[in-house]
Structure 1
Amino acid sequence: MIYAALFAVLPFASFAAELIKKPSAHDVETTANRLEAAISKAGATLFARVDHAAGAASIDAELRPTVMLMFGNPKIGTPAMQDNQTSGLDLPLRVVIFQDESGSTHLAYRQPADFAAAHGLDAGAEYIARMTGALDKLTNAATSQ
């Protein structure tokens, strides 16, 4: 019984290690706009921009500013899906930008090498390295002064 409980918790324990979190010098809206501009400049496609706070407001609930951008480049993502189509659960890439309790803005995303393991992909594959580099470059552009 103890082992069952331990194994049930292990996937959640590893989940925290999968997130990259960066502080932003800007508010949520500005950070999201800067990320969107960086995505466009890099030649990637923005597939969705989701305003979670607006969704909460639609049911008369409060949520601090929270925006998710879903984006990608089929030249990079398609090889991952060719290796295992379940990677479509994590592709296109997603970044969430949010305001914390103290009013500071952050963004967070999953490290591609971590979600690669969940789909049996080679963490050393070129497309994983390209996704990792793109996420780092784009999010740095969005959060920097």
Structure 2
Amino acid sequence: MTHSTARPNRWARNLLGAVALVFAASPSFAEYIEVPATGSVAEVADRLEAAAQKAGATVFARVDHASGAAAVDMELPDATLVIFGNPMLGTPAMQQDVRAGVVLPLRVLVADEDGKTMLIYQSVDAMFADTDVDTDAEFAKKMTGALDKLTAAAAKE
């Protein structure tokens, strides 16, 4: 009588290795940073917009997703996307890879998540994961700092 152990066969080991390699070689899943905030979605979005303008950024748009949903007789909790940027930071990214323009200007979603207002944004590393943008470059570090600083300012009353 032969005794078998619970080891995967060669085919299964190769498959597992291939799957692991695909995940290791793939860009990371989108990394989102969530910052809790005090106040309503509208109040926090106003504070974010004011903080961005005070920092010298241009606010390009404000998208009220809940109003959009209501316009087609659907419901969403309050959710407002604030789109802003500074060409001094965005232009160098696009000079390295024009595809950076797909994720620029910067954007932060202010949303009601189960009764709590949250500021939600993608990390700079995740934003540029599928591009040739050097996320160690000074402009990328400044983008990270700006997102951190502006969302922290907007989070407080």
Correspondence list, 1:91-130, <5 A: 91-101=104-114, 103-130=115-142
Residue 32 (str. 1) matches residue 45 (str. 2)? yes
* Letter matched to residue 14 of structure 1: F
Mark the CA change 1:13 to 1:131 in structure 2 (over 3 Å): closer, same or farther: closer
Equivalent residue number for residue 76 of structure 1 = 89
Residue 137 (str. 1) matches residue 149 (str. 2)? yes
Equivalent residue number for residue 67 of structure 1 = 80
| TM-score, length of structure 2 as denominator length | 0.82
Aligned-pair CA distance for 1:25: 1.1
* Letter matched to residue 93 of structure 1: L
* Letter matched to residue 104 of structure 2: L
| Inter-partner Cα distance in structure 2 for 1:28 and 1:114 | 25
| Inter-partner Cα distance in structure 2 for 1:52 and 1:68 | 7
Aligned-pair CA distance for 1:41: 0.5
| Inter-partner Cα distance in structure 1 for 2:36 and 2:52 | 19
| Inter-partner Cα distance in structure 2 for 1:118 and 1:85 | 12
**Identity rate, percent:** 46
Aligned-pair CA distance for 1:12: 8.8
The CA RMSD measured in Å over matched residues stands at 2.0
Aligned-pair CA distance for 1:11: 5.9
Aligned-pair CA distance for 1:116: 2.3
Aligned length: 140
| Inter-partner Cα distance in structure 1 for 2:155 and 2:129 | 28
| Inter-partner Cα distance in structure 1 for 2:91 and 2:49 | 21
Spell out, residue by residue over 1:85-116, the C-alpha distance to the aligned partner (whole angstroms, 9 max, x if none): 00001100010010012x11001101112222
Question: Unpaired segments of 5 or more residues in structure 1?
Answer: none
Residue 57 (str. 1) matches residue 85 (str. 2)? no
Aligned-pair CA distance for 1:13: 6.5
Spell out, residue by residue over 1:66-96, the C-alpha distance to the aligned partner (whole angstroms, 9 max, x if none): 0000100001100000000000011000100
Mark the CA change 1:54 to 1:92 in structure 2 (over 3 Å): closer, same or farther: same
SS in 2 for 1:64: coil
Equivalent residue number for residue 20 of structure 1 = 33
* Letter matched to residue 51 of structure 2: A
Which has the greater radius of gyration?
A: 2
Whose helix proportion is higher, 1 or 2?
1
